[in-house]
């Protein structure tokens, strides 16, 4: 058995369109002979084509095969994820401010309408009138003394939940939103790993 080489694939790599991907792009390579590790990193693996669209999966077996082809006496050890997701980044879509403002307004008006419908749906006006009467013993039509703090509290509660005010000062924990984004990305990655990688599934009608 020859020299041991350790290969650890990266999880996610961004490349430009028509890039030629080498072993070093998708993996960390470690060997006692660092010159050889450097040389192994330059082995070409894959050429991005326009037909690949924006996701390519490189399986660890492809990397091992390429390394063994370069030197069949090596003892290849793999560590970590068994595939790399290659994301082909086409020219960054620049967002116009107008577009962003439109979405902002959409969300703003939409959530305003949603909260009004919610109030009507649960008859909150009556509940507030009733609450006013419970506290003070007087009947009023518009208990604004209760309702204005309530309205401000709505916004405070939402911001508090997503922890945007205290995050930097109090703790380093990610906010629920960041965790949620991470989980969503994780699910997408899991999906593309299985569905874009021809090696990971074998169907009956595949020859």
Partner 1 sequence: MTIEILTVIFVGFAGGLAVGTGFVAFLVVLGVIPRLTQLTKTMKRIHAYEWSAVVGAVVGGWMSLRHSILYVSKYWLIPIGLLHGVFIGMLAAALTEVLNVWPILAKRIGVEDKIVILLMAIAFGKVVGSLFHWIYFVDYFQ
Residues of the shown chain interacting with partner 1 in the complex, contacts defined by CB under 8 A: 93, 95, 100, 103-105, 107-116, 119-120, 125, 130-138, 142-164, 166, 170-171, 173, 176-177, 180-181, 183-185, 188
> Closest distance between partner 1 and the C-beta of residue 99, in Å?
8
> Closest distance between partner 1 and the C-beta of residue 175, in Å?
10
CB atoms within 10 A of CB 39: 16
> Closest distance between partner 1 and the C-beta of residue 106, in Å?
8
The whole-angstrom separation of Cα 162 and Cα 107 is: 17
Q: Please, which residue, 20 or 106, has the CB nearer to partner 1?
A: 106
> Closest distance between partner 1 and the C-beta of residue 173, in Å?
7
> Closest distance between partner 1 and the C-beta of residue 163, in Å?
6
The whole-angstrom separation of Cα 194 and Cα 197 is: 6
The 8-class DSSP code of residue 61 comes to: H
> Closest distance between partner 1 and the C-beta of residue 136, in Å?
5
Distance, C-alpha 189 to centroid of its chain:
8
Q: Please, which residue, 18 or 136, has the CB nearer to partner 1?
A: 136
The whole-angstrom separation of Cα 184 and Cα 178 is: 10
The whole-angstrom separation of Cα 131 and Cα 150 is: 13
Q: Please, which residue, 59 or 189, has the CB nearer to partner 1?
A: 189
The whole-angstrom separation of Cα 78 and Cα 82 is: 8
Q: Please, which residue, 3 or 173, has the CB nearer to partner 1?
A: 173
SS3 assignment, position 158: helix
Q: Please, which residue, 4 or 183, has the CB nearer to partner 1?
A: 183
Beta strands in 19-62 (DSSP E): 20-22, 27-31, 44-47, 55-59
Q: Please, which residue, 17 or 149, has the CB nearer to partner 1?
A: 149
Phi, psi (rounded to 5 degrees) for 4 = -85, 135
């Amino acid at each position: 058995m020859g020299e041991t080489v350790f290969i650890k694939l990266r999880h996610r790599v961004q490349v430009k369109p028509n890039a030629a991907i080498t072993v070093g792009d998708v993996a960390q390579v470690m060997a006692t002979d660092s010159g050889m590790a450097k040389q192994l990193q330059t082995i070409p693996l894959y050429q991005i084509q326009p037909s690949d669209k924006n996701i390519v999966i490189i399986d660890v077996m492809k990397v091992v095969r390429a390394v063994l082809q370069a030197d069949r006496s090596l003892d290849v050890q793999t560590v970590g994820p068994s595939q790399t997701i290659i994301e082909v980044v086409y020219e960054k879509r620049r967002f116009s401010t107008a577009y962003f403002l439109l979405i902002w307004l959409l969300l703003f008006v939409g959530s305003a309408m949603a909260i009004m419908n919610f109030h009507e749906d649960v008859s909150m006006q009556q509940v507030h009138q009733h609450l006013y009467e419970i506290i003070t013993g007087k009947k009023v039509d518009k208990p604004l003394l209760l309702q204005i703090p309530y309205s401000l509290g709505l916004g405070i509660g939402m911001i508090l939940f997503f922890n945007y005010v205290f995050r930097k000062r109090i703790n380093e924990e990610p906010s629920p939103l960041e965790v949620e984004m991470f989980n969503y990305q994780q699910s997408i990655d899991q999906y593309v790993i299985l569905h874009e990688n021809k090696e990971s599934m074998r169907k009956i009608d595949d020859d």
